[in-house]
Structure 1
Amino acid sequence: MQLQEFSNRTPDVWGQAPLEEWRDRLQSVCGRFNPFGWEKRAVVNGGVSLSNAAGVEVVQVATDVEAVRRDERDIRRDYGEHFFLLVQLQGTCGIEQRGRQNTILPGDCILVDSSLPSNFYFQGRFSNHLSVHLPRQLLLAEKPNDFEISRRLAADDPMSTMLRALVAKMLQTSSGHKRSAELRQLFLQATRQAFAVDVPDTPLCPRDRASGRLELARALVDRHLTDESLTPQWLATRLGVSMRTLQEDFSAIGTTVTYFIRDRRLHLARDRLVEKQRGADDGTIAQIAYSSGFNDISYFNRCFKKAFDCSPKEVVRR
């Protein structure tokens, strides 16, 4: 399938780079994703480039490595606060996440969660795709926010066609353009609709294993992040476990339930403050704090300063 809207991103000839250099570039813009060379090949055909599309980061990843992997250790060392919308331009890419396997072809789209382990398979064949980095909590802040991760949207699916068109338009729009904020919001809403599950609150994983409970707990926190009812006790009740069991599950990844919820809410508030700075959100800092799940402004300011080493006002001023 020829994608005319991305013809300038599918050159006939690609350069080469040492595997380590290609890996360093990938990790600098996408986080801790670890490539493995094909048959001990020390060079990579392709490249990694970062673009600003209406204020959203878009990374082009072209490669012929064997695979790229991200495990729990990588996630703990590199907090995953993004969903990656992948748009395949050339070749094929096999993707495995949450027990689901898909192969995407040119024109296909798929949503990947950077907070979960993932595997990307190339098997030495050339692949070229765009990765649109969507702030996790900003995407989850509005309904529908129950996404079906790692579900392939075929190239001829109308939603896939719409997402590709929006990405192409955003790549032609600077972050300072007067319509960039509206374009970002349109793209977020289109992504929500494209990957929404048919049945809300569908269990995402088994509850009889600690890892399964933890994954479902993360999903429930994301889905109900701004609800006043979201507390550690509410979460334990939804999962059908005791508070002690829930605390032990989170302790295994070096945190507590309370801290996990607060951290997610802080990232949502930061993303909204950035949008305010760009002119896309006209709410006050206090309104943004309240709408992100905080009910004490002084407490919010202290936590924000500690988490991001700057105050909410400094984010807006930047």
Structure 2
Amino acid sequence: MKPLLQSHHNHLPVEVFASELRQVCGLFNIEPQSSSSVINGSIATRRFGAFEAAIVDVDSVHIERDKASIRQDPGEYFFLLIQDSGYSQVQQGNNTVELRPGDMFLVDSVKPSLFRYDYGQSRQISFHIPRDEAVHRFGNVDCGVNISRDDPLWLAMYSVLKKMIDYECMDQQHLGEAFISLISAYLHTNHRVDHAEPSEQLLSKALALINRHYLHSNFSPREIASHLNISERTLQRHFQVLGETPKHRIISSRLEYAYKQLCLRKDGLLDESITDIALRSGFNDLSYFYREFRKKYNMPPSLMEQ
């Protein structure tokens, strides 16, 4: 299977690699499989829709997240691992799997796990799904879930992932939402999950509505509440578990979309003014757009061109 991404191996001291890994994925113990204090690997990040992903290249190393690491750095995420190239072995709970290119495995960051890279160079793409949001979308899932390649939903997930990577200028938000929905469908049809409470189902529906409609300038928490047949106050209460308000979620999604478009503009891949991008991102008030953009990214949109 052809890799989705190019490899970027560097020679990094173990301490540097561990520090970079912690910033992106949380605290792990790193054990090179040689006496060398240098690791041949790299760590990069990328955003797919509303979700961050880590691209981890490693060679001949064991990476463990034990109970001590979890106590020190809880890291409230689920990691969906996609083996992009090379081979690895992943262990969590009672499940141990050998991953080859294209294989997928869902890891719970609050449970001990062990990753072995004993077969030469290996690259994994790791989707980081906030735990609260994962529970709302997936229900309570057992740790260490292998996504079977024999299931047609695996092919659908892989196809959406490939499209997100190959066509960066497309609407990543909708593709990301489709990817997460496919994961949810797989888990509910193949594994025992404790179904979410009605309140969790409501939040999941609200998040899906935001992902579909946030670019519409007239879309607001009022429209979400009306669609779900609840009050705005009730809607806001459900969002408290995420540590944000519905309005903040909408604005943040618009800003992230605008940022992506400005990056394309900077690279010469998009011929639009900042005003046009702001309007297409759902902002009718340009002064508000500039203020919120500076607040989120610590610079005005115009500096994206430099």
TM-score normalized by the length of structure 2: 0.64
Query: How big is the shift at 1:42?
Result: 0.8
After superposition, the Cα gap between the structure-2 partners of 1:279 and 1:31, relative to the gap in structure 1 and judged at 3 Å, is farther
Aligned counterpart, 1:33: 28
Structure 1 contact 80–114 (Cα < 8 Å) conserved: yes
Aligned counterpart, 2:163: 169
Residue 44 (structure 1) aligned to one of 31, 39, 56:
39
Structure 1: runs of 5 or more not aligned: 202-219, 229-264
Query: How big is the shift at 1:148?
Result: 5.2
Structure 1 contact 48–61 (Cα < 8 Å) conserved: yes
| Structure 1 CA distance for aligned equivalents of residues 130 and 143 of structure 2 | 15
| Structure 2 CA distance for aligned equivalents of residues 98 and 81 of structure 1 | 17
Aligned counterpart, 1:3: 2
Q: CA RMSD in A?
A: 4.1
Aligned counterpart, 2:11: 16
Structure 1 contact 147–192 (Cα < 8 Å) conserved: no
Secondary structure at the aligned position of 1:152 is classed as: strand
Residue 183 (structure 1) aligned to one of 150, 175, 189:
175
- CA offsets, 1:173-232, max 9 Å, x none? 55x85x33321221111111223354645xxxxxxxxxxxxxxxxxx5xx435449xxxx
| Structure 2 CA distance for aligned equivalents of residues 116 and 270 of structure 1 | 29
After superposition, the Cα gap between the structure-2 partners of 1:185 and 1:127, relative to the gap in structure 1 and judged at 3 Å, is same
| Structure 1 CA distance for aligned equivalents of residues 188 and 16 of structure 2 | 37
Aligned counterpart, 1:224: 196
After superposition, the Cα gap between the structure-2 partners of 1:188 and 1:35, relative to the gap in structure 1 and judged at 3 Å, is same
Aligned counterpart, 1:60: 55
Q: Is 1:126 paired with 2:121?
A: yes
After superposition, the Cα gap between the structure-2 partners of 1:198 and 1:152, relative to the gap in structure 1 and judged at 3 Å, is closer
Kindly provide the amino acid, as one letter, of the partner of residue 221 in structure 2: T
Determine which structure has the larger strand proportion and give its number: 2
Secondary structure at the aligned position of 1:196 is classed as: helix
After superposition, the Cα gap between the structure-2 partners of 1:197 and 1:17, relative to the gap in structure 1 and judged at 3 Å, is same
Structure 1 contact 61–128 (Cα < 8 Å) conserved: yes
- CA offsets, 1:121-179, max 9 Å, x none? 1237322111122233333324x6354542333556533322222112122455x85x3
| Structure 2 CA distance for aligned equivalents of residues 125 and 147 of structure 1 | 32
Aligned counterpart, 1:102: 97
Matches within 5 A, 1:125-274: 125-142=120-137, 145=139, 147=141, 149-155=143-149, 157-174=151-168, 177=170, 179-196=171-188, 198=190, 200=192, 223-227=195-199
Deviates more, 1:152-161 or 1:34-43: 152-161
Structure 2 contact 235–246 (Cα < 8 Å) conserved: no
Aligned counterpart, 2:302: none
Secondary structure at the aligned position of 2:146 is classed as: coil
Kindly provide the amino acid, as one letter, of the partner of residue 21 in structure 2: L
Query: How big is the shift at 1:64?
Result: 1.9
Structure 2: runs of 5 or more not aligned: 253-306
| Structure 2 CA distance for aligned equivalents of residues 275 and 53 of structure 1 | 12
Kindly provide the amino acid, as one letter, of the partner of residue 26 in structure 2: G
Structure 1 contact 301–312 (Cα < 8 Å) conserved: no
Aligned residue-pair number: 249
Identity of aligned residues (%): 22
After superposition, the Cα gap between the structure-2 partners of 1:65 and 1:23, relative to the gap in structure 1 and judged at 3 Å, is farther
Kindly provide the amino acid, as one letter, of the partner of residue 189 in structure 1: S
Structure 1 contact 37–67 (Cα < 8 Å) conserved: yes
After superposition, the Cα gap between the structure-2 partners of 1:285 and 1:137, relative to the gap in structure 1 and judged at 3 Å, is farther
After superposition, the Cα gap between the structure-2 partners of 1:189 and 1:125, relative to the gap in structure 1 and judged at 3 Å, is same
Aligned counterpart, 1:284: 221
Aligned counterpart, 1:210: none
Structure 1 contact 51–59 (Cα < 8 Å) conserved: yes
TM-score normalized by the length of structure 1: 0.62
| Structure 1 CA distance for aligned equivalents of residues 250 and 51 of structure 2 | 17
